[in-house]
A and B are shown apart, each in its own frame.
Chain A
Amino acid sequence: MYDFSVLIVDDDEVDRYSLKRLLKSLNYNIHITESEDGEEAVTFFKENDLNKPEFSETFPPLIVFLDINMPRMNGFEFLEEFRLFTQNKVGYQTMVFIMVTSSDNLEDRRRAEQFDVVKGYINKMPKTADALLACINKFLPTIQTDTI
């Protein structure tokens, strides 16, 4: 059915749309879930936890695109929550986080790098699409071999 699934956590509807459009332009069949902030994403993980029978091929997502500045729970707070949530749990080790943010703050970048699960950090810029594609491609080879 799906080649892989992704989760987009971003409060900005336009940003989510842009990313979706970009993902759809790839030649994959991608399952996309959206969360408007960290709290909604936490709920998403809790409700679809591996231990539950309703676990599906769309969960957990292979890539999480995570914004930093969001109301209620921001990207960093979410990463902390996620770390606590996945402690002693199997099945989440293959997951990859890509920070997508309009912040070009160095401190944010350093803070993000301290999380092992974060494999990419992309600034939202007019030419973000190319950077994103390059970034995503790094994590796709396994899927490509699977699907071909």
Chain B
Amino acid sequence: MTVQLRLWMGFGVTLAFLILVTILAVSDAKRISQSEQWVAHSYEVIGDIEVLVSQLKDAETGQRGYLLTDNKAYLAPYNQAIINLPLAIFQVKQLTLANSRQQIRIEKLQKLFNIKMLELDQTINLHRAGNSTQALQIVKSNVGNNTMNEFRALAREMRDEERILLGQRKKQAFQALASSAQLIYGATVLTFLIVGIVAILTSRSISTELSRLKATEGSLAISNQELQSFIYRTSHDFKSPLLGIKSMVSFIEEDIKLGNIDESLNNIDRINKNIDATLAVVASTLRLVKTDLAIMQIETVRLSALTQDVFSRLEGFAGSRGVEIRIGKGITGITIDTDITHLFTIVENLVSNGVKYSKDGEKHAFVQLDAYTDINGSISITVADNGLGIPQKYQKQVFGMFKQFHRGRANGTGLGLYIVRKSVDRLNGSIRFNSSDDGSLFTVNLPKVHGTAMPISPISDRLI
């Protein structure tokens, strides 16, 4: 995952969490306001019931005053009650629609109210008609008082019920507030936690990226050094045989003038050698540049076909040096998903080195190619020979640029094993060797499928 992606992901996670917290807080706020509405509702119902009782009481008091004094002004509360009370009862009924018990009570309350109003109406009408005594008798009969008491009792019941509900609703409102506070505290803590984790992970991935960049910088410095040393040596290797040719030409001129034909011929021979040397430098330089620039093309390579190609390519050279190239049975059937150009370069260089550095006078000089599948599934290709071997003291430099350890071997540029190492690196493989006076064994270990992880070879460390 790239650092950018990680950063965006960290930002996204934090943002998503913040959105979630906001949604929860909003729904909580709704819950709190609902509970509060219910509390207010309870207060409203209680208040309305109290108004009912007091207005009815006022109406009764008015009736009594009128009956006793015949003053019509006493009827004002009664007249108001006729208009207001049915409305007030209707309001309480509406407010308690959801509560069936209160609905039953309000029905009863309505009836009691009607009875009471009927009684008030009756007595007032009797009084108006001059039958004051009859009216007072009705009052004295306590019928109206009883109705009033029932009404009061019922109203109290209703109020009590509403008070109980109020208690419950207050409790709920308090709980809603408390849980909302908890949610906010919890969310704050969690937000800090998540932001902290995201910050740690982000900084970690940034520091990983930085150290990766530093490593790249380091390897760039190394390849830069290699490049400098490469330019230094190639310019030398190109120049020196050409300069030789130049001086040979002037010697030949001199000798021809003096008539030294034999010496001239010797020098022409030397010129030829220098031309060969220059060509070899050109060839291996090109190969090295190709190795560096080549675009990797991964395909399934049959090892037996590849080694056969190498064999055909080097057969003539090996024959001229009396070296036998043997192909082991292990090669058969092994395939590798890799870049064939690099693999060919590796195998060809190793085999041609084996041929080049064979022992003079060895009757059974050979280079043996073989391969096997490792326990971990990777492929090991081996190139063994009974040649000169690499002297112990040079073994650490084997894969360096321009390293040659044997004199008098034609066409050596000292780049062969360097190219091999580069190609092995490109194929994510490793290379190691054992070498003594009796010969050398090179082992190239490659992933079966390019791009899969490889175990780190302990030996490859000391090779670079």
Contact = CB atoms under 8 A, between A and B. Distances in A.
B236 A125 contact: no
Contact of B247 (A14, A40, A69, A105): A14
A71 B407 contact: yes
A136 to B, nearest CB: 17
Interface stretch (B10-18, B238-246, B298-306): B238-246
A21 interface: yes
Contacts, number: 59
A128 to B, nearest CB: 8
B408 interface: yes
A124 to B, nearest CB: 5
Interface in A28-65: 36-37, 40
A72 B394 contact: yes
Consensus secondary structure, chain B interface? helix
A72 B407 contact: yes
Nearest to A101: B236
B274 interface: yes
Contacts of A86: none
Nearest to B243: A124
Interface residues of B, number: 28
B353 to A, nearest CB: 14
B236 A72 contact: no
Contacts of B246: 126
A124 B274 CA distance: 15
A12 B271 CA distance: 12
A18 interface: yes
Interface in A56-91: 69, 71-72
A126 B267 CA distance: 16
Given A36-B408, A71-B412, 14 more contacts: A12-B244, A14-B245, A14-B248, A14-B273, A17-B270, A18-B244, A18-B247, A37-B407, A72-B404, A102-B240, A124-B240, A124-B243, A125-B243, A128-B247
Interface of A: 11-15, 17-18, 21, 36-37, 40, 69, 71-72, 102-103, 105, 124-126, 128
